[in-house]
């Protein structure tokens, strides 16, 4: 029987894929559709305040006493998800939930689950037959009186096992109320992105949401990091240099834009410690390797390729990189982009000196060149530039050790939301020109007219939603790069403690060393982003402590991952510490010593039960049949749950895992 284990696994895999198809095929390939996800309405228990948002599933985690939405005060709440649940073949399903609180699920007006739970998995509801196509769906959750509020909906298709409802099966209808709420969220997001509270002072940064602490590039020694010629264009019109710029045009209208831009540019260019300014010659022969590096790092997720005449205004152009940076400044920037700008969206890649030189050479080779305009040294012009920096509001965002003389209305004093920066024609005023389009301006006005206390309420899941968009995370995690995990899996897959270190660049070892692409680091956002992604999946911000490791189960787990006739032959593709994978056909799997620290226990157990159900692109085989049995019947009588738990107990040991057993 052991000799035929691999053919049996292959047959089980085929059967499992067929059983998955009727659940997923209608929608799994269409997750990006406009109406993906459910519409959720959060309401205070007194019914006086509500907010509407879009979420992927009936997943929610809110720490005790906190709010699920920045537009609701802290405290007890209800959440109601509305939309449609679709399947492509008629079938029978039961629903359950892991929760602390109460939950009612209705499908086609039938109540299929009505439970209250205290940190537990509910009993199954009554079986319901779902129609082919869309089925009207509603779920209502009420937060508990005590403890963290959370819910994670699960279903069991006929003949299958308990699992999350696939994201592609859930959709929603549009409504004026939804669009109004989304507009409010957009206005708040734009308010934060453009650092409006830096000038119009509102909540103290230590009493508000994380983005209130967002900085801008420091002006200290900036003349050593930016060229004077670049400054001129940037100060005169930031969006003319980079259409995605958040910085406004400061000088316009009756003032002499060119003269003011020249004065400020000259002053900033003079802020340089010349004794530390050592230009470095780049070798043009390094450009071809730099080109390969540019492609393998997937820089085109955010930047247009400077060697290609691409006019994509959604991407940051690199055509003027040699105008912006000196060679040594670019090399230093590639080494540590956040050295002078903590909230920069440019991530940190682990590049050695030679790689940075190769990449810089490629960028410089394909960039416009400096025209050689000398930096003005006229004392009166420099003094004017300094005065403008001190009085124009620059120092509200940019750090410099000189007096900030700018003043304007506080956030509380703002009453006319159609004046100043938000005027239809701001160039007729003295206000900065952000060049908002009408929809953006209206969204910010809508936010300002509403609950500004939302700036004091940090909601981890909502923070992650904003930052994922800002950092273009999905550009790499949506199938463009083979081997890079799908983004929608990550929040429910990774422990937030490990994910925070990984996103922050603290974990140096590549999990998938065979991939050319590498995960860059976003240190400033890392911990909060990891917690937010976890909360989006209804999981706690800190992984709960598990019971002590079952040492007897460890022994069986060791055997189960070993080569036949002992186990499933996991070691064929996966290394275990220094024990190398025995027979990799294509690409090796992740070293198992990392799995216990990386993976959420529930994800691991669901993954091992049926890998293609979690990720249809995986090459990992299925070891258990529809009845939850494996071919290795001599261990726990082939019981899937017990065997999977044994493997989990084994990998929890991490770098203390004993080497896999060897067949005699």
The crossing angle, in degrees rounded to 10, of helices 640-651 and 601-609 is 130
3-state secondary structure (DSSP) of residue 135: strand
Residue-wise pLDDT for 401-434, tens only, equals 999 999 999 999 999 999 999 999 888 888 999 9
Where is average pLDDT lowest: 54-63, 335-344, 510-519, 641-650?
510-519
Alpha-carbon span 194 to 334, nearest angstrom: 25
Mean pLDDT, the chain, integer: 91
Classify residue 32 by burial, with Cβ atoms within 10 Å: 0-12, 13-18, 19+.
exposed
Alpha-carbon span 286 to 365, nearest angstrom: 10
Of residues 383 and 278, more confidently modeled:
383
> 65 CB contacts (<8 Å, ≥6 apart)?
74, 75
DSSP letters spanning 617-649: T--PPP-S-TTSB-S-TTTGGGBHHHHHHHHHH
The secondary structure of 443-459, three-state, reads HHHHHHCCCHHHHHCCC
CATH second-level architecture of 545-656? Orthogonal Bundle (1.10)
pLDDT-derived band at 18 (thresholds 50, 70, 90) equals very low
pLDDT at residue 478, as a whole number: 84
State both tokens at 464. 């992650």
CATH 1.10.760.10 residue window(s) in the chain: 545-656
> Which CATH code, of 1.10.760, 2.40.160, 2.60.40, 1.10.8, is assigned to 222-365?
1.10.760
pLDDT at 330 over 80: yes
State both tokens at 57. 């599933």
> 536 CB contacts (<8 Å, ≥6 apart)?
55, 56, 59, 461, 464, 465, 491
Asked if residue 375 lies in contact with residue 533, where contact means CB atoms within 8 angstroms, the answer is: no
pLDDT at residue 113, as a whole number: 98
pLDDT at 343 over 60: yes
* Beta bridge mates, 138: 82, 106
CATH second-level architecture of 38-174? Alpha-Beta Complex (3.90)
Where is average pLDDT lowest: 88-92, 201-205, 496-500?
201-205
Percent with pLDDT over 70 in the chain = 93
Whole-number CA gyration radius for the chain: 28
pLDDT at 183 over 60: yes
Q: How many residues does the chain have?
A: 664
Kindly state the average pLDDT of the residues 494-522.
92
pLDDT at residue 427, as a whole number: 84
Please report where in the chains the tokens 């934060």 appear, as a residue.
192
Please report where in the chains the tokens 């004077």 appear, as a residue.
228
Of residues 512 and 329, more confidently modeled:
329
pLDDT at 245 over 60: yes
Residue-wise pLDDT for 525-572, tens only, equals 999 999 999 999 999 999 999 999 999 999 999 999 999 999 999 999
Residue-wise pLDDT for 371-385, tens only, equals 999 999 999 999 999
Q: Return the beta strands (E) in 9-148 as ranges.
A: 38-44, 50-55, 59-62, 77-87, 91-107, 110-121, 128-130, 133-142
Alpha-carbon span 454 to 188, nearest angstrom: 9
pLDDT-derived band at 16 (thresholds 50, 70, 90) equals very low
Residue-wise pLDDT for 246-275, tens only, equals 999 999 865 567 899 999 999 999 998 765
pLDDT at residue 14, as a whole number: 35
Residue (of 209, 216, 302, 301) closest to 528 by Cα position: 209
Alpha-carbon span 164 to 536, nearest angstrom: 14
3-state secondary structure (DSSP) of residue 407: coil
pLDDT at 333 over 70: yes
State both tokens at 404. 């900030």
pLDDT at residue 593, as a whole number: 96
Alpha-carbon span 610 to 631, nearest angstrom: 15
CATH 3.90.182.10 residue window(s) in the chain: 38-174
**DSSP secondary-structure letter at 538?**
T
pLDDT at 522 over 50: yes
pLDDT at 195 over 80: yes
């Amino acid at each position: 029987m052991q000799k035929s284990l691999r053919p049996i696994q292959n047959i089980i895999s085929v059967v499992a894929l067929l059983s998955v198809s009727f659940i997923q095929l209608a929608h799994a390939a269409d997750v990006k559709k406009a109406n993906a996800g459910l519409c959720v309405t959060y309401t205070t228990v007194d019914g006086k305040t509500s907010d509407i948002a879009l979420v992927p599933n009936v997943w929610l985690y809110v720490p005790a006493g906190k709010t699920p939405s920045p537009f609701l005060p802290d405290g007890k709440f209800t959440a109601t998800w509305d939309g449609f649940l679709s399947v492509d073949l008629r079938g029978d399903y039961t629903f359950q939930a892991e929760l602390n609180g109460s939950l009612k699920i209705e499908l086609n007006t039938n109540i299929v689950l009505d439970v209250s739970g205290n940190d537990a998995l509910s009993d199954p509801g009554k079986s319901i037959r779902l129609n082919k196509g869309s089925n009207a769906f509603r779920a209502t959750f009420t937060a508990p009186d005590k403890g963290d509020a959370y819910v994670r909906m699960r279903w069991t298709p006929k003949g299958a096992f308990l699992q999350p409802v696939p994201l592609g099966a859930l959709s929603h209808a549009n409504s004026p109320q939804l669009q109004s709420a989304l507009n409010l969220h957009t206005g708040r997001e734009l308010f934060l992105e453009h650092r409006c509270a830096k000038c119009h002072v509102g909540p103290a940064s230590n009493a508000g949401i994380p983005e209130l602490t967002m900085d801008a590039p420091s002006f200290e020694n900036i003349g050593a990091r930016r060229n004077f010629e670049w400054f001129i264009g940037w100060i005169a019109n930031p969006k003319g240099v980079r259409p995605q710029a958040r910085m406004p045009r400061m000088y316009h209208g009756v003032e002499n834009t060119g003269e003011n831009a020249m004065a400020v540019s000259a002053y900033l260019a003079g802020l340089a410690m010349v004794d530390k300014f050592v230009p470095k010659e780049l070798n043009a022969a390094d450009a071809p390797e730099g080109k390969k590096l540019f492609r393998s790092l997937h820089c085109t997720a955010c930047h247009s390729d400077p060697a290609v005449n691409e006019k994509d205004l959604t991407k940051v152009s690199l055509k003027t990189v040699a105008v912006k940076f000196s060679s040594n400044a670019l090399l230093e920037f590639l080494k540590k982009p956040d050295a002078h700008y903590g909230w920069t969206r440019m991530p940190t890649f682990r590049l050695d000196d030679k790689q940075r030189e190769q990449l810089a050479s490629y960028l410089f080779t394909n960039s416009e060149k400096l025209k050689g305009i000398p930096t003005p040294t006229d004392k009166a012009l420099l003094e004017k530039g300094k005065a403008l920096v001190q009085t124009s509001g620059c120092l509200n965002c940019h750090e410099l050790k000189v007096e900030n003389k700018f003043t304007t209305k506080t956030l509380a004093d703002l009453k006319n939301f159609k004046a100043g920066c938000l005027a239809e024609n701001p160039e007729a005023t003295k206000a900065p020109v952000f060049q908002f389009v009408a929809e953006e301006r209206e969204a910010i006005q809508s936010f300002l007219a509403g609950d500004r206390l939302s700036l004091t309420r940090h909601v981890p899941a909502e923070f992650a939603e904003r930052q994922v968009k800002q950092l273009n995370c999905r550009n790499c995690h949506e199938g463009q790069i083979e081997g890079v995990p799908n983004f929608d899996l990550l929040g429910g897959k990774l422990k937030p403690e490990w994910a925070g270190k990984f996103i922050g660049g603290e974990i140096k070892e590549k999990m998938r060393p065979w991939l050319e692409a590498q995960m860059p680091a976003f240190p400033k956002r890392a911990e909060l982003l990891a917690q937010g992604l976890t909360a989006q999946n209804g999981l706690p911000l800190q992984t709960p402590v598990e019971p002590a490791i079952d040492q007897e189960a460890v022994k069986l787990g060791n055997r189960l991952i070993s080569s036949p006739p002992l186990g499933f032959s996991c070691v064929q593709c996966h290394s275990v510490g220094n024990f190398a994978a025995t027979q990799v056909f294509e690409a090796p799997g992740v070293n198992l010593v990392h799995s216990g620290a990386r993976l959420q226990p529930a994800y691991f157990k669901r993954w091992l039960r049926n890998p293609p159900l979690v990720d249809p692109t995986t090459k990992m085989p299925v070891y258990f049949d529809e009845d939850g049995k494996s071919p290795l019947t001599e261990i726990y009588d082939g019981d899937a749950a017990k065997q999977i738990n044994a493997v989990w107990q084994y990998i929890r040991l991490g770098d203390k895992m004993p080497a896999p057993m060897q067949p005699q």
